[in-house]
Amino acid sequence: MADYNINAVTRRVVFSGSAGVGPYAFTFEILAQTDIAVYKNSTKLVLTTDYTVTINANGTGSVTLVVAATGSDTITIIGSRAIERTTDFVTAGDLLASSLNEQLDSQIVMIQQLAEENKRTIKAPAYDPADVADGGTANLTLPAAADRANQVLAFDASGNPIATEEIGDWKVDWAAATSYANRDLVKDPVTTSIYRCNTAHTSSGSAPISSNADAAKWDLVIDSSDYILKGGDSAVAPDRVLSITQSDSTPDIGHAAVYIDYNSSGSTPVTATRNKIGVWIDMDSTSTSSVSIGTEYNQYGCYVDVNQNATGDGSRVTGYYGIARTTHPSNTAQFLLGGYFVGQSNAAGDVGSIHGVLSYAYNSDSGNCNNLAGHFNIAVMNGSGTVTSAYGTYNEVQIDSGTVNAAYGIRNQVDYNGGTINNPIIMNWNEYAGGDPGVTVYGTYNTGEDINYFSGQVAIGDTTPEPSAALDVASTSKGILFPRMTTAQRDAISSPANGLVIYNTSTNKLQVRAGGAWVDLH
């Protein structure tokens, strides 16, 4: 029989499995080995198969595992005496002290067990109102299973549990003839606003929801009247995580629909996949007035500032890839820029190449276009450093192999098929203004070509050459200087054509080729 006290100790103890097989001691008293349950993590172990119990003389004891636990395991020992009475006192039978002690000890053990379990249950505070049966307002009984199925547990004004609205779901676009439950979320297919159902019903009519007969059965969650946010639904292209459309006729100046600050630091190279686009923005205007913000003229589809501030080489840093176009037949484009860029170096290190813009400009309709520029570039040097080459436009054509039908460093082509031309068509316009730089200024500098080809008339110093002249040179301060060479050099000319003119430095004579011989002109 048990001959010890049942002390006021919580009948539960938790250990880390770092002790391996144990022993894992417990300080609450038990009457038999079966009075405890042992858990390894969430698994209930089996007496003898998984563990053994040692009971000390004072009723406390320890558990030894068959298979060692580890430090990541949790060993839990709790009181688990079966709630039963196995001894019956009969009339005129013996009433022994040992039997009474065993029954009373068992009662205390079971009470302590229930007290320990009660600590781990949800319960109202001691100072809450009394239960309804005791004259109070508290009734913590759950609603019946049929009433709480697929419902959300909530509490009413008295703090008592109730089954509330059905758990909703994301239903994507609202549609007619669809059964909606409370808390269901939908997107208005017309306005793209987000709504939450507050009354279960079967929908009818058509969108938008705000003008639908069942509008009162929906609560507006996200109002997209000013900004349309789309992400992941069928209305957004699959290659876009976020699509933003701003529909405001007078947006605040300086505000950005999307601001992205992408920074890279450290010695690891940035090896982004090609054609990664931080922001893709379409700016459309359907207004009949000029596209402007107040009296401002600048509208940017995207404003990008890309900086290379580290000591590493910037292989290809692109500020922007843009297309700007007008499609309305009555529009007059003041300045239609595919991209407006500044390629800038403020560092002391060497910069291999800075390109302001790489552009493709076109006009595909009959509207007027004052300035249609494939390149509109300004090269500026304001620093004290040395600029090896500064190009307004730099075109490079590289041929490594294969067949090339035509290779153009610069090709300008105008196709005239009718209409009125009020001003001359200028294929190339080079203009130099300012003081004498002290060096030679070339309007056009060609080197390495076999042939420089000009079709039509060539005028130098005059914009209106004589109609009968292929070459018209006009000047009141300079003359024409023919090629100068010796007789030996003249005679080395291969197959000289009749009419060829040179200045012979051996005879100091101007000579012309006539009838297969060289003839002095004076």
The answer on 114 and 21 residing in a single domain is yes
Closest CA to 286 of 322, 245, 323, 253: 245
Using the predicted structure, report yes or no on whether residue 502 has a pLDDT greater than 70.
yes
The answer on 110 and 19 residing in a single domain is yes
The answer on 114 and 53 residing in a single domain is yes
Closest CA to 197 of 179, 212, 185, 215: 185
How far is residue 37 CA from its own chain's centroid? 54
Three-state helix/strand/coil letters over 54-123: EECCCCCEEEEECCCCCCCCEEEEEECCCCCCCCCCCCCCCCCHHHHHHHHHHHHHHHHHHHHHHHCCCC
Q: Both tokens of residue 294?
A: 């107040």
Q: Regarding predicted confidence, which is higher, 177 or 362?
A: 177
**In this structure, are residues 147 and 163 in contact, taking their beta carbons and an 8 Å threshold?**
yes
- pLDDT, tens digit (0-9, with 9 covering 90-100), for 61-92: 999 999 999 999 999 999 998 888 877 788 87
Could you tell me if residue 77 is inside a domain? yes
pLDDT at residue 252, as a whole number: 45
The answer on 185 and 110 residing in a single domain is no
> What's the CATH number where 489 sits?
2.10.10
pLDDT at residue 304, as a whole number: 52
Contacts 24+ apart (CB under 8 A), 336-342: 336/361, 336/369, 336/371, 336/372, 337/376, 340/300
Could you tell me if residue 49 is inside a domain? yes
Using the predicted structure, report yes or no on whether residue 174 has a pLDDT greater than 80.
yes
pLDDT at residue 232, as a whole number: 41
The answer on 109 and 37 residing in a single domain is yes
pTM value is: 0.38
- pLDDT, tens digit (0-9, with 9 covering 90-100), for 364-405: 445 444 444 555 555 555 555 665 555 556 666 566 666 656
The answer on 172 and 90 residing in a single domain is no
Could you tell me if residue 42 is inside a domain? yes
Residues 6+ apart with CB under 8 A from 36: 26, 30, 53, 63, 77, 78, 79, 80
pLDDT at residue 233, as a whole number: 44
pLDDT at residue 360, as a whole number: 45
When divided into structural domains, the chain yields a total of: 4
Distance CA 180, CA 313 (A): 59
Mean predicted confidence (pLDDT) in 467-478: 91
Using the predicted structure, report yes or no on whether residue 100 has a pLDDT greater than 60.
yes
- Percentage of the chain exceeding pLDDT 70: 62
Could you tell me if residue 58 is inside a domain? yes
pLDDT band of 409, cuts 50, 70, 90: low
Could you tell me if residue 87 is inside a domain? yes
- pLDDT, tens digit (0-9, with 9 covering 90-100), for 333-374: 444 445 555 555 554 545 455 444 544 444 444 544 444 455
Calculate the average pLDDT of the chain: 74
The answer on 101 and 197 residing in a single domain is no
The answer on 105 and 39 residing in a single domain is yes
Could you tell me if residue 129 is inside a domain? no
Q: 283-316: string of b/e by CB count within 10 Å (b at 16+)?
A: eeeeeeeeeeeeeeeeeebbeeeeebeeeeeeee
Using the predicted structure, report yes or no on whether residue 254 has a pLDDT greater than 50.
no
Could you tell me if residue 330 is inside a domain? yes
- pLDDT, tens digit (0-9, with 9 covering 90-100), for 128-157: 988 888 888 999 999 999 888 878 888 888
Q: Regarding predicted confidence, which is higher, 108 or 254?
A: 108
pLDDT band of 245, cuts 50, 70, 90: low
Q: Both tokens of residue 473?
A: 């040179």
Mean predicted confidence (pLDDT) in 24-28: 94
Among 92, 119, 146, where does a domain finish? Answer: 119
The answer on 114 and 26 residing in a single domain is yes
Q: 125-163: string of b/e by CB count within 10 Å (b at 16+)?
A: eeeeeeeeeeeeebeeeeeeeeeeeeeeeeeeeeebbbb
- pLDDT, tens digit (0-9, with 9 covering 90-100), for 265-299: 554 444 434 444 555 555 455 555 444 333 334 44
Mean predicted confidence (pLDDT) in 414-429: 73
Using the predicted structure, report yes or no on whether residue 219 has a pLDDT greater than 60.
yes
Using the predicted structure, report yes or no on whether residue 306 has a pLDDT greater than 70.
no
How far is residue 208 CA from its own chain's centroid? 30
The answer on 35 and 107 residing in a single domain is yes
pLDDT at residue 375, as a whole number: 55
Q: Alpha helix locations (H) across 288-446?
A: none
Among 119, 150, 183, where does a domain finish? Answer: 119
Could you tell me if residue 520 is inside a domain? yes
The answer on 169 and 112 residing in a single domain is no
Of 97-106, 141-150, 161-170, 477-486, which gets the smallest average pLDDT? Answer: 161-170
pLDDT at residue 452, as a whole number: 75
Q: Which residue has the tokens 């200087």?
A: 481
Closest CA to 38 of 4, 69, 8: 69
> What's the CATH number where 171 sits?
2.10.10.90
The answer on 37 and 106 residing in a single domain is yes
Among 198, 230, 262, where does a domain finish? Answer: 230
Q: Which residue has the tokens 């089954």?
A: 163
Q: Both tokens of residue 343?
A: 């390629």
* Domain extent at residue 24: 12-119
pLDDT at residue 461, as a whole number: 87
pLDDT at residue 251, as a whole number: 46
- Percentage of the chain exceeding pLDDT 90: 32
β-bridge mates for residue 511, sequence order: 502, 520
